[in-house]
Structure 1
Amino acid sequence: MLLAALLLAVAATPSRAEPAAPAGAACPGRADALGTARVLTVDPAETPRVGRKHFPTTLPLADMEVVLTFDDGPRPGRTDAVLDALRRECVRASFFVLGKHALAHPALTRRIAAEGHTVAHHTFGHPLLDRMTPAAAEREIDHGFAAVESVLHGRAGERPTTPFFRFPGFATTPALLDRLQQRGIVVFGADLWASDWNDMTPGQQLDLVMARLDSSRGGILLFHDPRLQTVQMLPAFLRALKSRGFRVVHVVPPRLRTASAPP
């Protein structure tokens, strides 16, 4: 199987953790690493909603370019393993974190930012917002913003530092979409799913995701970092991207502030 061959290749590489490299730079100690091909700035004023699974438009990606996104973390024992795999390949991703998990695991949340990944937002507790009143839904969104901002920056402002948001379960409403656009928040959908909310083996998930990528030739890809099958699959998946000629794009807001680069 594809997974078995790629796991052998991963096992043959050095196990030490190399420091994260700037996007587009060579990967220290790993000449064959996947790396991050380029950084794409996403301006809310120009791009309020992205992801063809949910909206008419998506990010301006070239053929064979992939944006890696992870939802529902951070979770100890899972998210840190995802970060280890990304660091080995010098790959940058976007993590749509839950506010309650950020508060419960602040060091892990700060590690995501410190290693150069984009820390985005996914509400505080993962309710389906289309089942709430607009006012209650917006309070839930703001609660998530405030929790993540307090962990990363010590306080919450009127607008999150990284104005990227994904609806839990993609349960949107026209009123909430309009409200977030007014506030300058980019709503992320996805172009393709890993479907890792369904139980499957890591090998089955790898085959599924690569088949979808081969068909779509890139796009915004959705994973869930708390899912064990995703954690176990990820090193082989990154090597598969490299071997098939895919390139990773890292998305950032016009002004990115992280725990490693305070204002």
Structure 2
Amino acid sequence: MRRMRLHRLAKRLAGAVTALFAGSAVANSANCPRQYALGTSRVLAVDAETYPRVGLGSFPETLPLADHEVVLTFDDGPRPPNTEKVPTALAQKCVRATFFLVGRSPAAFPELVRRIATEGHTVGHHSWSHPMMSKIPLEQATEDIDRGIAADELALNGVSITTPSANFFRFPYFDSPPAVLDHLKSRGIAVFGADLWASDWANITPDRELRNLIERLTTARKGVILLHDAQARTAATMPFLRYLHENDYRIVHLVPAAPTVTNAEIPP
């Protein structure tokens, strides 16, 4: 019974967070205090039924983005001091992004998780310990996922539960075994790959990372972009936002779709 109450609480929180984020992002685009900032163009609510697996680097389908629309996503944080520089740069341009957190970091730096959420970004999940999930048993993989979600939720909401407020997950290394994919689908958790990335996990300079992004985006013209806020080279590459603005790209902010409430869940 307690588990059911927590599940319902998480669903209500998710709906509230969706409404809050959606309203904030629209205001961000229209009312940014910096008149000529890049801004956030629109909000896209994502649910696991409509978009169970997205990102052309891993899956056959991706999000319905128009030409010159991009989604910014960041993995592996939060990790000071680099993560702190990323939302600062985003705020300067009135841009909203999605951060996929590795649970060990929210456990160590919960205040950074709360800052990310308070500034209007979406918090997704990226496991507890960042393992290659095809190399471990299914039970261990699901335990690592749940431990990561619980750490993220504790940092965000003060409650250690495995029902995520935002039902977004990205596999470490894009390593997505079929059994784990099926497990996440059964729980209504949307899985994100990416359409393009900067290769910022490699030992490259910020200049090379920036050129990677520009070259790949010039070819793709739109898409879900993967970056790593824990990397110093990525924090140094945030002038990429200026490139997006100067080349007429538009930012799409992802939020979890509000859960569908059935009659059975409405209290008498």
Q: Which TM bucket (shorter chain)?
A: 0.7 to 0.9
Query: Which residue of structure 1 aligns with residue 159 of structure 2?
Result: 155
Task: Indicate whether 1:100 and 2:104 are aligned.
Answer: yes
Tell me the SS of whatever aligns to 2:66.
coil
Residues 1:74 and 1:91: Cα distance change in structure 2 (over 3 Å): same
1:20 and 1:90 in contact (8 A); partners too:
no
2:26 and 2:42 in contact (8 A); partners too:
no
Query: Which residue of structure 2 aligns with residue 12 of structure 1?
Result: none
Runs of 5+ unmatched residues, structure 2: 1-23, 260-268
Q: Matches of residues 106-125 of structure 1 in structure 2 within 5 Å?
A: 106-125=110-129
Under a length normalisation based on structure 1, what TM-score does the superposition of the two structures give?
A: 0.87
Tell me, in whole angstroms, the C-alpha distance in 2 between the residues paired with 1:63 and 1:21.
20
1:20 and 1:87 in contact (8 A); partners too:
no
Amino acid at match of 2:129: G
State the 4+ residue runs in structure 1 displaced beyond 3 angstroms: 19-23
> Which of the two has greater helix per residue?
2
Amino acid at match of 1:24: S
Q: Matches of residues 1-263 of structure 1 in structure 2 within 5 Å?
A: 22-28=27-33, 30-234=34-238, 236-255=239-258
Tell me the SS of whatever aligns to 1:60.
coil
Task: Give CA deviations for 1:179-206 in whole Å, capped at 9, x if unaligned.
Answer: 1011000000000011001122212211
Shift of 1:20: 8.9
Tell me, in whole angstroms, the C-alpha distance in 2 between the residues paired with 1:135 and 1:124.
14
Shift of 1:139: 0.4
Under a length normalisation based on structure 2, what TM-score does the superposition of the two structures give?
A: 0.85
Task: Give CA deviations for 1:2-43 in whole Å, capped at 9, x if unaligned.
Answer: xxxxxxxxxxxxxxxxx9983422310x11110000000001
| Structure 1 range deviating more: 198-207 or 158-167 | 198-207
Amino acid at match of 1:73: G
Tell me the SS of whatever aligns to 1:22.
helix
Tell me, in whole angstroms, the C-alpha distance in 2 between the residues paired with 1:57 and 1:33.
31
Tell me the SS of whatever aligns to 2:123.
strand
Shift of 1:211: 1.0
2:128 and 2:144 in contact (8 A); partners too:
yes
2:29 and 2:94 in contact (8 A); partners too:
no
Amino acid at match of 2:32: C
Considering only aligned residues, what root-mean-square deviation do their CA atoms show, in Å?
A: 1.5
2:55 and 2:195 in contact (8 A); partners too:
yes
Shift of 1:171: 1.0
Tell me, in whole angstroms, the C-alpha distance in 2 between the residues paired with 1:148 and 1:230.
22
Amino acid at match of 2:187: R
Query: Which residue of structure 1 aligns with residue 16 of structure 2?
Result: none
